[in-house]
Structure formats: structure tokens, C-alpha cells
Structure 1
């Protein structure tokens, strides 16, 4: 089998790229021939050392560009990427090749759809976010600090300023989305879509064409198994970007109402404001992966108060694997990892009083320790290891190649998009 992985970055700059590169390295170690095609470098040196062919265009993304106008043109329609990908895919044998797209919105652009369609190769797409259906990629209205339930590209969507920075940037993303749907036709290209949470499939299912096959493949969690040690429960911990959509202000307020000290690991646009408004809070800044895991392993609980959908929040699973209970918002995909009342608590999204009530309960050392043991035992009964990820991924590739060989990859006629999108159902207990 030959797997061509398509991503914006050839190095780890976040969770999305980490999953793509980890899977590339894991597949290569299992003897699969792997090619990584990416817009932005420098390429991670581990790739070449593992025998992976890397095609990196050494282009910019928004964080590295010195010419934002030129990058805007690239982000909307990256002609260079389209030509280079077409040339690369022309070298591939359709009988043993699967093209797996991880990302396009930060640098490659929807232009890759032209090359993908012309290649006639079997295609897979992993939905790390929602750019395939939502022009801003998150179903989140930043000015209102709320999940967006509008139908993407409807009149209500187009006239709403939901972008994190400005309405003109929202309009630029709308133009890119029009290129994706009307020219590249990416939504109709991907019959096989990998999701990383059940919530994702419920949200995007009504918005993708009839005949789309969803396959659940959890991201790998990089936590080494260790015996559950008895420990005195420590602090209530927040890990991640200190911002509104991540629920950082809700945690700070809930902690004050519960009379406990909140500890923040990370940085973000709201760090300074929260530090001023809540002087009792401890702001530790960013830590490396080992440092974060050490803090989580000694915490009383991880608090994950995100108010948007998320994809598959890795810190939730890392905490559980380390034997730390998790208190998580019922609006985000992290709720799928927690058994309410056993390995942590679910609370009503955006409600600091509801969160404060659970913080008070977990002030009980015996309860925190009991939940920590349950979290550790349940996670390691079915751990999200790289091997488990690769096994599931290999199963998807086998389905795609088998159906391609039998000529069954053609998609039925697309159904009309719904006029509204249902809110996901209640959290599973």
C-alpha cells in the first residue's frame, strides 16, 4: 500500500499536524510506503530518517508570511499547490494508493481539489475541524461567545460577523469557501470521512452529501502507561489557550464562587485580563509536553470548560490516562470521554455556578482519589495508543481500496442541504 498524506505543515505546529506526522511515522514503521505532501516547512527530520518521501513547497502560512495580501491570494486559491500535487499524484498507482487529506485551510487552500479529482485516486479526509462545511471552520460566533447554529453559507451565515478578528476576514473565508464548493467541489470528492468524535458526525452529517461514509478513528494519545500511584490531590488545572471559546473566564469565575484557587497552564489573549480580574489565579504559562503531563498527574482534576464543539480534546484523554478526573463542559466533544459521576463530571456549558458545584464536590479528597482511580482503570482498559490508531486507520484504507477496486466509490446524487442544523443531543452518560 502507498499512502499519500496531504497536510498544510510538514512539521508539528499543533495537534492536527502532530496526528498527521505521527501516523506517517507509524505507517512507515509498519512497512507502508508513505509520501507526505505539505505546503509549509521545514520538514520534520524524522520523516526522511524513516524513509518517507516528503514533498514540501516551503510556502508561508498566516503566522510566517510577510506579505498578507499575497498570502490572502494563496489561502483562497493556491495555484502552486494545485500544480505540484497534480504532478505528485500522477506518479501514483491507483491500484495501491490512498490519498489521505488532513488539512488544507491554513496554506494549501481548496485548489488541491482540482488535482485530487483529476487523479481519480481513492480519497480519505480526516475532519480535524469543520472547514469542509463551515467557512470559519468552527461553528463558533466569536463576538457572541456562542456556538453558531446557522446553516453554513445561508443568508444568516453570510451576514453574521462570527470571525475571531474581523468581518472582512470572515468575508475572505466566505470567498475561499465558495471556491471550495463551487470550483474545487471538495465536499463531493470525499466519500470517506474520518471523524475523531461522535459529535462531529452528528454536526456535519446533515451538511455533507448523501452517501458519505463516516469512520471513527480516534487520535493517538501520547501517554506512557504507569501504575496508579496513591497521591494527595492537588490543584484544579486548566490546560490550553486562555481564551473565551476555551471557557477560561468561566473556570476563573467558577473557582472564585467555589472558593478554590484556579491554576492555568497556557497562554492566550485573555491571560492578562483574567490575571487582573482574578488575582487569586495562578498563571504558569506554557510548559513542554512532559511538564504538562507532570502537572496533570498531580492535579486534583482537569477542568475543560470549552464552550465550542472541539474535535477530540487530547488533554481530556491525557488527564484520564494519568489518573486525573476531568470536569468538562457538556457542549464539547470532550464529554464523550467522561463518565459523569464516575471518572469526572459534566456541567452545563457556560454556567459558572454549575461548574462551581462540581469543584466543591471534588474538594473532597476521597472523592477525587476514587474518581482518579476509576479514570485510570477505564482509560487503560481501551487505551488510545498509536498502534490502536494505526489499526483503525489501516481498516479504513482497506475498505477504501477494496471498494475502489470494485468500482463502488461513486457517490449517489447529492441530497439538498437542510435549512437548519440540529443541535447535538444530550451528553452520553
Structure 2
């Protein structure tokens, strides 16, 4: 099988790209022929070394854009990505190819939909976020700091400023989403959609066609299994972007009320404000993966107070793999990994006093040790390894290609005829 992976970035700059690149390397190791098509480089050096074909347009994303106006045009409708993707997909045999789209919103734009439809190839889309159905990709009102429950692209949606920066930027997203829906037709293009949490599917399903087929494929995490220990676990830990939507201010306030010390690993727009308002907070900045795992293994609990949906917050699973209980907001998908009262606690989203109550409970050494052991044992019964991720992907690819097989055979015969190897007269015999 030939798998064409489509993503904004050809290098790891976050969770989406990491999943796509890890999958590309894993599929290639299993004997698949793999192509990665991306807008932004430079490509990860491991790809070419593994024998993966990389088609990188070397374009900008919003973080690197030298000409902001030119990037606005690219973000709304990237003509080059549509043209290059169409040319690449023409080289693919429909009988043995599946095109798996991971991301388009940061650089490729909805224009890829035109090329995807014209190819006639079997298609699959992984919903890492909500850009397929929501203009700002998150069902979240940044200025109001709350989950948005408006119908996407309704009058109420269009007239509401939900963007993190400005209303004009929201209107640009609206224009792009109109192109996504009415020109590219992306929502109707992907019959098969991979989701990474139950909450995500429930949030998106009302805005996707009724015939959409959903496949649950958990993202992989890279945590080595080490013996579980309980000695010296003291800190309540936050790992991630220090921002309002991630609930960082709620954790700082809850920790003060509970009389415990909050430790933050990460950075973001709320860091300086929280450091000034809560001088007892420890701000460690960003750490590399081994250092984060070490901090998790020494923590009494991970606190994940996110006030928006999230997709599948891997930080939660990483903590559980380290034998660390998790206190999680009941509004986000992270709650799906936590059995309330067993390997952690749920708390009412946005409520610092509800979070503080659980921080006080977990100050009890016996309870913290019991929950840590439960977290460790439950996670390692079914760990989210790359192998399990690839096994599940293989099942989905088989389903998608099997369904598309009759049409793929017709397309292949049609191409054969057009190429001159078969004339209309001989095709009739």
C-alpha cells in the first residue's frame, strides 16, 4: 500500500506534526510506501533517511511569514499547494493508495480539497482540532474565555469575535471557512474521519454529513516504562502553554487556596502576570521531554485545568504512564483518561475552589500513593504505543481502501485507456 500523508509541516513543531511524522516513519518500517506532502520545511532528516518521499513546498506559516499580506492570501486559498498536490496525486495508483490528511489550516489551506476530489483516491482525515467544522478551530471564545456553543458560520457565529487576536482576523477565518465549505467542499469530501477522543466526535458530528464514518485512533505517546515509585512526590505540576484557555490562572488560584505550591512547566502569555500575582508559583519554563518525564515522576499529581475541549491531551496520558494521578477539568477530553476517584479527580471547569478541594485531598500521602499506583497499572494495561497506533491505522486503511476498491478499479481502467495502452474498441471486448 502507498500512503500519502498530507500535513502543514514537514518537521516536528507540535503534536499534529509529530503524530504524522512518527506514523510516516513507523509505516515505512512496516513496509509501506510512504509520501509526505507538506507546505513548511525544512523536512525532518529522518524521513529521507528512511526512504520516505518528501514533497515540501518550502512555504511560510503564520509564525514565519515575512510578508503578512501574502500569507493572508495563502492561508485563505493556497493555489500552489493545490497545484502541486494535484500533480503528485496523479502519479498514484488508485488501487493501492490512500491519502491521509493530518493538517491544512496553518499553511496548506482548504485549496487542497480541489486536488483531493479530482484525484478520485481513497481519503481519510484525522481531526486533530476542529478546523473542518469551526472557523477558529477550537469551539472557543478567546476574549470571553469560554467554550463556544454557537452554530459554526451562523449569523451569531460570524458576528461574534472569538479570535485570540482581533475581529478582523476572525473575519479572515470566516472567509477561509466559506471557501472550505462552498468551494473546496472539505466537510463533504471526507467520508472517513479519524477522531482522537469521544468528546471530539460529539462536538463535531452535528456539523458533518450524516453518512460520515468515524474511526477512533488514539495518538501515540513516547514514554518508557519504568518501575513505579512513590518516594519524594511533593509538587502539583502543570505542563503546557501558560494561558487562559489552558486554565493556568485557575491552577494558580486553587493552589493558593489549598496552601500548596504550584509548579509550572512551559511558557505563554499569562506567565509574567501569574508570576507577579502568585510569587509562590515556581516557573520552570519549557523543558525537554526527558526532563518533563522526570518532573512528572516526582510530582504528587498533574493538574490539567483546561477550559476548552482539547482533542486528546497527551500530557494527561504521559502523567498516568509515569504513575502520577491527574486532576482534570470536566470540560476537556482529558477526563476520558481519568476514572474519577481512582487514578485522579475531575473538577468543575473554571472553578478554582473545586480544584482546591482536590488538591487538599491529594495532600494525603496514602491517597496520593494509591491513586498513583492505580494510574500506573491502568495505563500500562493498554499503553498508547506507536505500534498500537499503527495497528489501528492499518485496520482503518484497509476499511477505507476496501470501500473504495470498485471505484478505484474503474478509475485505473479509465487511466489505462487514456494512456493509450487500451483503445475504446479493445476495451469493449
- Determine if the TM-score, normalized by the shorter chain, exceeds 0.5: yes
Deviation of the 1:86 alpha carbon: 0.2
Name the structure 2 match of 1:375: 375
Kept in 2, the 8 Å contact 1:197–1:218? The answer is yes
Deviation of the 1:22 alpha carbon: 0.3
Name the structure 2 match of 1:62: 62
Q: What is the distance in 2 between the residues matched to 1:252 and 1:54?
A: 44
Kept in 2, the 8 Å contact 1:232–1:365? The answer is no
Q: Secondary structure at the match of 2:175?
A: helix
Moved over 2 A (4+): none
Kindly provide the CA deviation profile for residues 260-309 of structure 1, in whole angstroms up to 9, marking residues without a partner as x.
Answer: 11000000000000000001100000001111111011100000000000
Larger of the two Rg values belongs to structure: 2
Structure 1: gaps of 5 or more residues: 409-429
Name the structure 2 match of 1:426: none
Q: What is the distance in 1 between the residues matched to 2:230 and 2:280?
A: 28
Q: How does 1:126-141 map to 2 (within 5 A)?
A: 126-141=126-141
Name the structure 2 match of 1:112: 112
Kept in 2, the 8 Å contact 1:126–1:194? The answer is yes
Deviation of the 1:340 alpha carbon: 0.4
Kept in 1, the 8 Å contact 2:233–2:297? The answer is no
Kept in 2, the 8 Å contact 1:135–1:174? The answer is yes
Q: What is the distance in 1 between the residues matched to 2:29 and 2:342?
A: 37
Alignment of 1:159 with 2:149, yes or no, is no
Structure 2: gaps of 5 or more residues: 409-429
Deviation of the 1:225 alpha carbon: 1.1
Name the structure 2 match of 1:176: 176
Q: What is the distance in 1 between the residues matched to 2:29 and 2:323?
A: 30
Q: What is the distance in 1 between the residues matched to 2:252 and 2:235?
A: 13
Q: What is the distance in 2 between the residues matched to 1:28 and 1:129?
A: 26
Deviation of the 1:234 alpha carbon: 1.7
Kept in 2, the 8 Å contact 1:129–1:311? The answer is yes
Q: What is the distance in 1 between the residues matched to 2:319 and 2:368?
A: 13
Deviation of the 1:231 alpha carbon: 1.7
Q: What is the distance in 1 between the residues matched to 2:264 and 2:230?
A: 24
Name the structure 2 match of 1:270: 270
Kindly provide the CA deviation profile for residues 351-382 of structure 1, in whole angstroms up to 9, marking residues without a partner as x.
Answer: 00000000000000111111000000000000
Q: How does 1:327-406 map to 2 (within 5 A)?
A: 327-406=327-406
Q: What is the distance in 2 between the residues matched to 1:311 and 1:138?
A: 9
- Which structure has the higher relative contact order (CA within 8 Å, separation 6+)? 1
Q: Secondary structure at the match of 2:183?
A: helix
Name the structure 1 match of 2:4: 4
Name the structure 1 match of 2:34: 34
Deviation of the 1:407 alpha carbon: 4.7
Name the structure 2 match of 1:17: 17
Q: What is the distance in 2 between the residues matched to 1:407 and 1:206?
A: 28
TM-score, with length taken from structure 2:
0.95
Q: What is the distance in 1 between the residues matched to 2:333 and 2:127?
A: 13
Q: How does 1:211-222 map to 2 (within 5 A)?
A: 211-222=211-222
Q: Secondary structure at the match of 1:86?
A: helix
Deviation of the 1:232 alpha carbon: 2.6
Kindly provide the CA deviation profile for residues 108-140 of structure 1, in whole angstroms up to 9, marking residues without a partner as x.
Answer: 000000000000000000000000000000000
Aligned length: 409
Deviation of the 1:406 alpha carbon: 3.9
RMSD between aligned alpha carbons?
Answer: 1.0
Deviation of the 1:210 alpha carbon: 1.4
